[in-house]
Structures are given as structure tokens and as C-alpha cells.
A and B are shown apart, each in its own frame.
Chain A
Amino acid sequence: MRRNAREQAHERGNAMLLVLLAMSGLAALGGMSALAVRGGLDAAGHDRFKAIALYAAESGAAAAVDFVRKEQAAGRTLSDLVEPYNYDPQPPTGIAGNGALPDDDDNPFSTDLQAWYEVVILNNATDTGLAAGDDTDARFVVRATGHGPNGAVAMVEWDVRANFTGSTMAHCPSYGQRGLAEDGAGRNDCLTTIDSTATATYTPGE
């Protein structure tokens, strides 16, 4: 069945509202600062059901971040939440509403939305502990699949950094010095991949 243009316009407006609601709720759920956002708001063009699914996915992702924060506050590490090579990743039941269908008491959405989500937590691919299933850089990826009415599905992935909790801190020098830090190990985990095509020389004494 094709919907008429008026209905579509109304649904697009709702979808945009939902996305904005989801985004604004992130910080509250996760205690998280949304930084340079790399993704786009492509969801604005989806239909209403898709928008509900996307809303559900983002809600699930936010719930996952909140879960991780609480887990770490309780002393667990990110390494406890990820698997080697992300094979068969964990869908933690501690994530509020994770896997709870619309009729389930744990489902956080109103029944009329017919929304629910499934969330897994992955290690980031650049983590040197990926093979061993260890977190070594305090970064993780939340993969949340949201479900809406009429079989609508959306999936989002959030790349999240746990700033000051986790298993191994990213080793990023503070005071500039020879050897890069007081440990003298020449290590800078925050130095991005070097673009070898960008070079320069300068002679200060001239």
C-alpha cells in the first residue's frame, strides 16, 4: 500500500523528532559527551516505522553505554565484555530492555510503538587486544539493532571511548619530553597513523 504524501510528510517529521530525542537522550543515559560526530542523519528520510526502529536502536545503544558505565563503576572491565575477534559477541542481559519484546515488562517503550532492541558490545577493530578478547585502549563499539512496527529494522554502531575507566588506559603522553613520557617507552597511543606524504623541513638558524 502506498501512503499519500501528507502522511509521509507527517511521518518524516515524527522521524526527525525521534532522532533528535534519541540524540539528546544520549548524554543523560550514558553520562556521555557527544563529540565530533562522523555519521550522518540519514534516518530523516526513512519512513515512520523505520524511524521507530532507528529510535529503538539508538535507545538500545544508549542503554548499553549506561550499562558499561555502571559495570565499570562496579569494578568490571571492558575486557570482561568483549570476545576474541568479536566472535559470538555478548548480548549482556544487564542492558536495560535488551532483547525485551514489546509485550515484555522489561521493554522500555510504550506498547503502541511496537519497538524493541538487541544490543551487543564489540571490541574496536584497532584494539591490539582484539585477538585475545582484551580491551587495551578503553574503546568499544555498541552495535544496536532496533525493531519497529511491521518488521522495520535499523542498526547503528557507536564508537565509544570510556574516558577514565576500563582495563588498560590508552597510553598517551602528558608532558612532552624525550621518550614521549616519564616511562621512556617511546609510546604514544594517541598518535594517529602518520601521513608520510606530508613532510616539511625548516632551518631555524637561518
Chain B
Amino acid sequence: MRTHQPNRRVAPAALAAAALLAAPVTGRAQSLETCPETSPSASWVGATLDSDTTKDGVVYDGSGGGKLKLQTAGGVFTSTSLGIADLTVYAATADFDRDGWMDFVGIGEGNSFVRIYRNRTFDNPAPDWTNPSAVRTPKFVNVRSLVTGTNSQKYRPVAAGDFNGDGWPDVFRAEANPGERPTVATLWLNQASNDGSGNPRFNSGYTPWASPTTTATVGYQTWSGTNVAVLDYNGDRKLDMLIGSNENNGEIRVFTNQCTLMSPQPTPVPAAPAPLRCSNNPTFKHTATLITNLGYGTGSSGKLPVFSYTDIDFPADGKRDLIVGSPICCSSSSQRLRIYKGITATTVSSSYQSVSFAGGATGILAADFSLDGRLDLIVTTDNWNYNDGDGGKAFYYVNDGDSAPFSGGVTQQLTDILDYDVSFIFNYDNDPANTPDVMVADGNHTSSFYVLANRVVNQFVECGEAASGVIPLNDLESSEMVVTAARIDPQVALNGTGSVTFYLSNEEPPNWVQATDCGDGTGDLCATFPKSSGRDVRWKAYMCSGNNKTTSPTITGMTARFQYTETTEHYRGGTTVNDGIAYLGAFRQPGDRGRFYAINAGLSQTYWEAANKLDESTNDSERRLYTAHRDTGERLDFSVSNASDVGLQATLGAANAAEAADVVEWVRSARFGVGNDGIALSKLGAIETSTPAILTPPGLPTWYLFAPGAQRAKVDQFIANNASRPTLVLFGSKDGIVHALRSRATDISNSSNGKEAWGYIPPHVAGGFLADYSTSIATEMVNSAYPDGSVTLADVHDADGEMMTIALIAAGNGGDSIAAFDVTRTIDPSTNNVLGPTPLWTAIPGGAAAGRAFSKPAVARVEIDNATRFIAIAGTGMSFTDTTPPFEYGRIVEAYDAITGDVLWKFQTRCALTSDIAVFETRDELEPGNPTIDGYMDRAVFADACGYVYKVDPARDLGGGWNVNDGLGSIEADVVDGQQLYALFSTLDTDEALGVESPIAGTLGAQIDGDTSRLVLFFGTGGLESHSVAEQNAFYAVYADTGEIRAQMAGACPGGRCEKFYGGVVVTREQVMFTRTVDPRIGTGTCDRGTSVIQAVQLSTLEDGQFAVDFEVNAAAATMSALYGDAGAVYFSTLGGDVVRVGSPRATEAGGDSATGSANDPLEEGEGTGSLDSPMSLLGWRQVY
């Protein structure tokens, strides 16, 4: 018993003897191989601070032993003549001769020439780089004519890029009569060698289209400007083209590269994302449209989408953003220059953010001109289409670093001449600071070609960052281990008011977690990784200048260690129990191999393991895998034989059937594991945080007795119709599939148990496969798109009352989307044939503002406009790129029609969402609106990373508008579109709470307290691995009506390391059970698995105003997973690899409940069965006298 916490009241009479699970109950010896270990220290000092870091806004200064400091600021532009006289109106840059100096291809408008201008600026002397006004005289020489040129007035969009992946840039050009669709398109491939003078050479051009795309497909070319972008749009390691046209009211079409990649690739294979080598000449096909209906009209002169998309990311979240304007646009000034934020890697939001802009855009150039690590903007304007004569301006916008990066408007007007037709970015002078320079030109007029040389000034950039290389694994390289946490000891001088914030990551691409005080008095900084499935450990320093940018912090050294566990398996997901069987998933590292177990509820034997069954007793031809069309939602067979389906190709983003077949085959293949000789790879991917859900025959829904008679009859029929529905176990894994496994508890030895019945791939997940596949075949295995959430199952009905069972799953670590599908009848019970799920809808809660979809959606029956509706409420969570306040991502919670996916409302939290969504009924007198217990959910609650709990009325259809929650909380949390949103509770602001912000994660328990009959919410704080162990946490019971604290329990902080409440909460009619966890110590060299206590307190009884403790049970290792309660026992899994049970399960063996008639009875307590035929059950009787 713990007695040193003043806020913890322990009822001695009720306190059960703590069972020390550290002593193995089953007699199992403690497995030493699961003990966390600490790596040797890696250090960065002197030159390694330069050689083993990437720097953005940060430079290495070798003086005084060497240090990292902030870059002096850029963004001082000095105009100088480009030095050519050709009438170039179209241009694109590339290092065609690979000499390290950026060249460009220039093309005329009134003349058809296509010329390669080689950069020979190196022939001119370098200036005094410390003089901000000095420039290096540009020198560009026409060294190659791809088209000699004749006079003809045409519009000729151009692009340069390494389209065939040989490392040498190529040239594409289309040609159209002004305002018309092109009639000529040519691709010149670089010969991949220079001539004797060092000048690049090109092959004869060819028309590069793949049927049915033609030259005309490029679309109306109605003016000139930057309307072509070259990038690997779909992540297949081949460069594609995006071309703006005046089709369909203005749109940007995607032309994907159809070349076949060489196999094997010639060595050395370039690192991602560099293009891979094609085996044939590239051709392009119009396979997607990035955006359409921009409001430009169709075929209208001057109304050409001019845009920037390649590498645009405001702020950096891995999802490209689009910034678009036009030489003529628009009736509304707010539409002249728009930012469309990326929703996925290949799509952008339908809503936009306006940038203040006066003019008609012909060039939109984005780069870090100011050298502060953020993309800035230069927009050039046309003379003729916006207030005739008002053009020829170049506006410079400096990114202010928030979610509206250019809300401050134009920072500086750089030039003002007659007209700008053409512009591009290039570092023409190779200055020491590598500042991006700009070429702007009135291409119709000689001598109007300018270089805006970008120079540094005598100030530091506001902020910048440096990131280390990966810590070498050395002897651990071939070891099966997982990195769980890391510790750093930085040598830092702030030098005034500057600041440095450190982050750590354990995977590629990085998932930065802020490092905080280790809590052991050393001053070291520690971070625990939420996704302990990587082992590429590195650190990052985010440095900000001080004293009005005149001082810079410095880093003179760094040591780092990481904590790893060599073990066979890891458990992060929760356990679910049904009919005497406990189910849980696991993962092995490295290799991302998955495991899925069915064990007896008595916890003494394993019935089956699914990964082996998938590998050894399931032929690929037996597998029934499905996905859904990304646009129509139509179900698609996910099979090689269906690769010719254009819908499947579109969903995958595949260029053609062959590429789609390759991707499908890869997804279905055995690809997980280390691949050591003699150890076969496996098909089941890692099960990271997905807790399984058990699809059984339906029972009575909780709202049954409140439903009208006709609806009850439909429920009755639904139950009868599905009484023989085979039980399936649903979970998501890193192979990209939501697996449905067969499980017959009453026939546990049946060989079909644990075999995959079917699998479903959410369409957004499928859309991420191509990039993963391309990287995986070229270099190393990558699986970034997969369903990692926990399946929500619910029985719902449509407007006609027709019942169905739906499943929802969020992507968790594997993305930002959620998907819903119908699982009512996926197997014919009479034949056992697989019918498969029916896709319903998919969404990204918050769209471009989504984080990683960690939160489990809730389903609620509500009444809206006197009609019964079923809604799904979902949010996402913290983004790997946005882990500290102020949060930009993961704050939107949205409600959807559970069957159609129509958006009903949205809400914005103050910080990133960290809890699951919970809904409940209430009749509390203090609850506004006089809700009653009527089978309709009255409130939804959720919480965020800053400790705010929000309560909203879910029963609203606002057409996707903000669900303003006046009266459902008094703490002002956020303002959206001028409307105040409130929180019910705050760890910072609520009386007698912590007084500081602290994350609230996992389940929010909700139950009626028997003492006051008020509904109470139960939750704890600190439940994120990234939350500092040095900070105090608490577990709360809070009245749901007022947000007032009913009782609280402080987490202990022994030795300065505080208990966290990870959000595993189970509430019964008598008890509240939750976990108190102390994270393992990080990088101490000691064997520390952390600790957890399973705590039970009485629901209705308080002692001296605080919780009355029922029992405490110690676990031998930390648990961060959910708690599960079933039939007399609670279950959880630990990081140490154990499943733990507290309590006596009603059925200890498979089928035990079925044998007693207790299975799947929602009302069953253990004494018998209830049924529709027995409206009353006698639970017991006694003769008093």
C-alpha cells in the first residue's frame, strides 16, 4: 500500500492484498532477453557537428573548436542583368551538364527556338561575399539548340527533369497556338554525356504520350507563366508532370510517367526520393487532376493556372500544398492568390487560404529565400491583364511560420518594370550560403532579363534547425531489437535570449519527439518514442536567435544514447476477450513482422497464432482481399488479376496495369522479417497499436427498448437473420490490411481457426502503397501506409430502419484517414463462402489539418430533426511533425453520418486530440437542454494534448459547420471563424486541478455515480510517451455536467519520476479501474522495464472527498495499452511482453460461455441467459422469514 501521496485515500478494509505479478504466477522464468538495454554513447563534437548533420538555417562555424549556430539571414536581393539577348518567354532550370552550376533551357514565344543556356558564371570572379550589395556577374552561354527556331507565335510551356532516371536532366516542351490546346509535344532525353567542350547533348526528340493521352490532353494554353511542375507525384520514383490549363474552369492535370523501371537497378541505387532508372523511354499519361474548377472560365485568354506545387509544404507536414494564381484572376481579390493545403501526398483540400496580392500572377516561386528554414514566396506579375500597365512587379513574402504563412502580406516589392513573362529559381552563383536566387524577365523585350541575386545580411535568421545523422548501430546492426527511447546531453550556450529545443526520432522518415528533462537530476534530455518500431535514432536541434536577431545560440557538442530491447515480440495494442478467448497482436523488430494470438482467458495456453497460418496454410489464391475505389467507393478486388481495372489503378495511383499488378503482388507477398538465411519472410505485418475487435452474432443494442415497436421488430429480425454469423476477429496491421480472422470458440481445434477469412484495405491506405513499394524495391523496406487503429463495431440502421453492422478503423501510426465498411454478412454461414465487406466511406478528419489518426472513433445513435440518425465521431491526433504547442494539426473532430459519411459538424480543440471519442446519455439536472435517458446519445467528450476536455452536443446536423458548444463548458479554449469554443475541464484552469497543461489520453470513462446520480467522467493525465516523466500527473473524476472535480488521485513521483495515466479505464457499476505507469528509465544502463499498478477505486463511495481504494495490483513492467474488462476479469498487456489478467474469468477456456449459454449476451452477468422470450429474469430469491 502506498501512503506517501497526500491526495490518495486508501480504504484499508477494502484494499485487497496487492498481488505482485513480478513474481511469475504461471511459473514462467523472467526472460532476461526482454530487459531494456542502453547503447554506447555516440558523440558529435568539432567537425562531426558539420559532417554528420543536415542544416537548415543553421551553419557550422569551425572556430573555437567548432560549433553550430544560426545562419545569417538572407533575402537581400540585388538586381543584375542576366546577360542574354534572346527573347525567351519560357524557361526551366536544371544542371544539364552536371557540373554543379545550374543551367536553364529557354524557349521563345514569337520564335520556336529551344536553347540550352549553360551557366558559366564561374568564369567571372567571386565577389566579396561579406558585402551584401556585391554580386557575381552572371554568365549564361547558349551551347545547344534543340530547335533552331523560326518565327511563329505560339505558347510553349517547358519543363526540365530527369524523366528517365539516368541522372541527367531532360527537356519537355509543348507547343500551342495562343489560347488553344497544344498540337506538338516533344521530349528530348539527355545523352548522359557532355561533348568535348563540356556542353550537354540531347537525343532527338519524340512525342512522349501513352494512350489514350494525346498532346491535346495538355489542355488550353491561354497565356504564359509557371504552369508546369516536375515532381514524383505518386511516389513511384519516376518524375511526373503537372500542367496547368484553362480546361474546366481552370485545372491542373497530372501526367504520370509510364516508363518501366529497370530491374535490377544499376548500382549504386540512389537514395529516395531520387528517381530510379527507366528501362525504356518515358511516356506520360493523364491519370489524375490535382485541382479543377478554379473559377477561371474555360478557354479564356490570360486565365491560365500559374502555380507552385513541387516541394511546397506550409508548414512541413509531408503533404504538399498548392499555391496558385493566374495572369487574370479574379472578381474577388481573395481569389487572386490561393494556398490549397495538402490532404494527402497527392491531393489538396477543396478549401483555400487567401494571400493578399494585387496583380496577375505569371510566376509563383517558393524557396527559403530568407534562410530561416521556411519556404518564402516571390510572385511576379503580368502587365496586361490586371489594371493594364500595373505589372512587372516582383513581390516578396516572408513566411511567418504559422499555419497562415503569408498573412502578413508582402514583405518587400523587389522590382518594378513593364511586364514579367517568365521567372525561375536557381542558385546561379553558388555563393557560400547557397542562397536561392531568382531570374525574372520580360521575355518579349531584350535587356529585360534580370537576376535577383540573394545575399545575406548582418543578422541571424529568426530560427533554424540542425539534425544529426543516424546513430550507428554497430554490433546491434544484425540484432533483433527495438528502440524505445533515447537520451541526449547537449553542450549549449544560449548567448542572450536565444533558445534551443531538442527532439529525438527513432525512424525514417523522422517522427520527432521533443526531448524533456530526464527527471534524474543529470540535466540530460530524454524522449520516449510513441512508435517503437524504428531504430534509426537521431537528434534535432531547433535554434532561435535572440536579442532582436543579433545573437545566436550555439551547440558545441552532443552525446546521445538510446534504449533498446532485444526481444522477440512487443505489445502495444490491447487485449480483447470473448467467449473464453483472449486475442492480441504483437510485432517483432526489426523487420516489422506481425504476430496475432488467441490464448485462453485463463492465460495458460495459446490456441493459435495467425501469422504462421497465413504463411504456412493459406495459399495466395485463397486470400480474399478488397479495397474501395478512391472516388466512387466501389469495392474492388485487390488482386493481380484485377490490376487492369482502371479504378484499382486510380486508387493505387499506378501509372498502368503492370505497375498496379506489381504493387498488388508486393502487398500480398511475404515481405516482413529480417530476411536472414533460413528464416522465411512472413505476410502478416507488425500489429503496433491496433486492439482487436470481435465480430459475433449481434445482440440487442442498448437503445432497443427505447425504439419504436416497428424498429424493435427489425432488430429482432436482424438478430435472427445473423444468429449464425461466424465470429471474426478484426485488426489492422502494417501490411496495409484490416484482417478478418475466423475464430470458432466452440470448436477450438478446428483448423480454420486463425485463418484469414478476408482482408480490407482502406482506400487512403491503398493510395500510399505505390510510394512504399517503389522505395522498398529500390532500397529498403518501407511501410508508411497502413491501418493501425482499433476497429469500432456497431449495429446501426438506415433511414428505413434496415439494420447493419458497420466497422470503422482509423489509420493510427499509418496515416490520417478513417474508413467505414459494412460487415453485416461477410461470410455465408450456410456455405462458409466469403462474401466480403462492403465499403461505405472514407474521410480524413480535419482534411489538410489532420494529424495521425490515433483516436478511436465512436458511434452514437442520435435524434436530429425528429429523425433517428447514427453518426460516427472521429478525429486524428498528433502529427509526427507537430508535437509541441501551438499545434497546427490533429485538432479537428468531425461527425459523419455513420452510413453515408456525410459530414454533420466539426469542432476544433486547442491542442492536438489525444483521447478516444466517448459518447453518453445523461439526465443530469445541471446539463443544459434537459436531456433524458431515451436511447439517444446526448453528449460527446474528448480531450487534447494540453489537458482540455471538451463536451459537445452530437445530435446536430450543421452541414459540416462548427459545432459551437456554448453552455457546455466555461473555459475559453479556441475561436473559430469568430465563434468561441469552450472546454469543460482543463488541467490548467479548473479549480484544484494540476495548474499546468498535461495531456489526457486514451479512454474517457463515463458512468453514473451512485451517490449523486450524476454522470461522471474518469480520466488521467500525462498519458503520452513523449510527456516528461518529471511532471506531476493526476487521475480525475469530473462531473460531466459542470466540469467540477468530484475526486482526484495524484500520481506518485518517486525519485522525481512521475506516474502517468495512459488512459486505460474500465468502469463498472461498482468500480473504476485504471493504470498508473512509471515509464522505464532511459539510457541508464540498468535493466528497467518500468512499472504499472492496476488501480481500482469505488465508483460511488468517497472517503473524505477522495477516492476510496478497492485494490492495487502491481505489474512487472510498464503498460501503455488499453484495459479490457470481460466476465469477471480485466486484461492488459505490458511492454515486457506479458498479458496480465486480474480477476476470475467466468470462462477460462474457449467456448466456456457458449457452453453455459452466456456468450454474446449483453446483459449477462454470469447467472444465466436472457432472451427476447423472457422479459423478466429471476436473478435470485430468498425467504426472509
Contact = CB atoms under 8 A, between A and B. Distances in A.
Nearest to B1184: A155
B1163 A161 contact: yes
Interface stretch (B275-283, B408-416, B786-794, B960-968): B786-794
Contacts of B1168: 33, 35-36
Contacts of B1018: 186
Given A161-B1163, A162-B1176, A184-B916, A204 B586 contact: yes
Interface stretch (A7-15, A100-108, A109-117, A129-137): A129-137
A200 B1185 contact: no
Given A184-B918, A201-B603, A161 B1005 contact: no
Nearest to A146: B1183
Contacts of A172: 1162-1164
Interface in A150-206: 153-180, 182-206
B1138 interface: yes
A76 B1184 CA distance: 29
Contacts of B703: 169
B1140 A199 contact: yes
A1 to B, nearest CB: 23
Interface string B1010-1033: 111100001000000000000000
A128 interface: yes
Interface string A30-43: 11111111111011
A158 B958 CA distance: 49
A178 B790 contact: yes
Kindly name the residue among A33, A40, A143 whose own CB sees the greatest number of chain B CB atoms within 10 A. A33
A16 interface: no
Contacts of A170: 1163
Contacts, number: 355
B678 interface: no
A72 to B, nearest CB: 8
A54 B1181 CA distance: 13
Given A154-B1183, A188-B1068, A198 B599 contact: no
B1175 interface: yes
B1068 A175 contact: no
B1137 A160 contact: no
A206 B31 contact: yes
B559 interface: no
Contact of B599 (A126, A154, A204): A204
Contact of B1176 (A32, A157, A173): A32
Interface size for chain B: under 10, 10 to 19, 20 to 34, or 35 or more residues?
35 or more
A57 B1167 CA distance: 24
A185 B916 CA distance: 9
B1180 A194 contact: no
A205 B595 contact: yes
Contacts of A201: 21, 24-26, 28, 603, 1116, 1138-1141
B1009 A198 contact: no
Nearest to B568: A205
Nearest to A161: B1177
A33 B1003 contact: no
Interface in B609-624: 609
Given A192-B1166, A200-B26, A165 B705 contact: yes
B185 to A, nearest CB: 53
Given A158-B1181, A191-B1125, A196-B16, A35 B1175 contact: no
B1006 A164 contact: no
B576 A177 contact: yes
B1130 interface: yes
Given A153-B1185, A169-B705, A199-B19, A159 B1180 contact: yes
Contacts of A154: 1183, 1185
Interface in B1144-1185: 1144, 1160, 1162-1185
User: Which one of A35, A153, A167 has the highest number of Cβ atoms from chain B below 10 Å of its Cβ?
Assistant: A35
Nearest to B16: A196
A175 B1162 CA distance: 9
A48 interface: no
B1178 A160 contact: yes
Contacts of A161: 1163, 1170, 1176-1177, 1179
B1065 A186 contact: yes
Contact of B1128 (A139, A191, A197, A206): A191
Contact of B1125 (A130, A132, A180, A183): A180
Contact of A202 (B1139, B1169, B1182): B1139
B1113 interface: yes
Contact of A185 (B794, B919, B1126): B919
B1066 A191 contact: yes
Contacts of A42: 1183
Contacts of A128: 1007-1010, 1013, 1069, 1099-1100
A178 B693 contact: yes
Interface string A1-29: 00000000000000000000000001000
Contacts of A147: none
A34 B1178 contact: yes
Given A159-B1181, A180-B1066, A202 B1138 contact: yes
B1176 A199 contact: no
Contact of B1164 (A34, A134, A190): A190
Nearest to A19: B1183
Contacts of B692: 176-177
B555 to A, nearest CB: 42
Given A164-B700, A188-B1066, A33 B1143 contact: no
Contact of B1013 (A32, A65, A134, A183): A134
A193 B1068 CA distance: 8
Contact of B858 (A61, A168, A184, A202): A184
Contacts of A143: 1184
A163 B858 CA distance: 25
B1010 A127 contact: yes
B783 interface: no
A172 to B, nearest CB: 4
B696 interface: yes
B576 A197 contact: no
Interface string A53-74: 0100100010001001100000
Interface string A72-108: 0000000000000000000000000000000000000
B28 A39 contact: no
B348 interface: no
A204 B597 contact: yes
A184 B940 CA distance: 10
B713 interface: no
Contacts of B131: none
B68 interface: no
Interface string B270-308: 000000000000000000000000000000000000000
Contacts of A187: 1005-1007, 1066-1068
B1125 to A, nearest CB: 4
Most buried by A among B698, B1068, B1170: B1068
Contacts of B1169: 33, 35
Given A33-B1168, A159-B1179, A163-B1177, A200 B1010 contact: no
4 pairs of A and B residues whose beta carbons are closest in the complex:
A128-B1010, A35-B1168, A38-B1180, A196-B1111
25 contacts: A32-B1177, A33-B1168, A33-B1178, A34-B1178, A39-B1183, A128-B1007, A154-B1183, A164-B700, A174-B795, A179-B858, A184-B857, A186-B1005, A186-B1006, A188-B1068, A191-B1130, A195-B1144, A196-B1111, A198-B1143, A198-B1144, A199-B21, A200-B1140, A201-B26, A201-B1138, A204-B597, A205-B595
Interface of A: 26, 30-40, 42-43, 54, 57, 61, 65, 68-69, 126-132, 134, 136-137, 139, 143, 153-180, 182-206
Interface of B: 16-19, 21, 24-26, 28, 31, 568-569, 574, 576-578, 584, 586, 595, 597, 599, 602-604, 606, 609, 691-696, 698-705, 790-795, 856-860, 916-921, 933, 937, 1003-1013, 1018, 1065-1071, 1073, 1096, 1099-1100, 1110-1113, 1116, 1122-1130, 1137-1144, 1160, 1162-1185
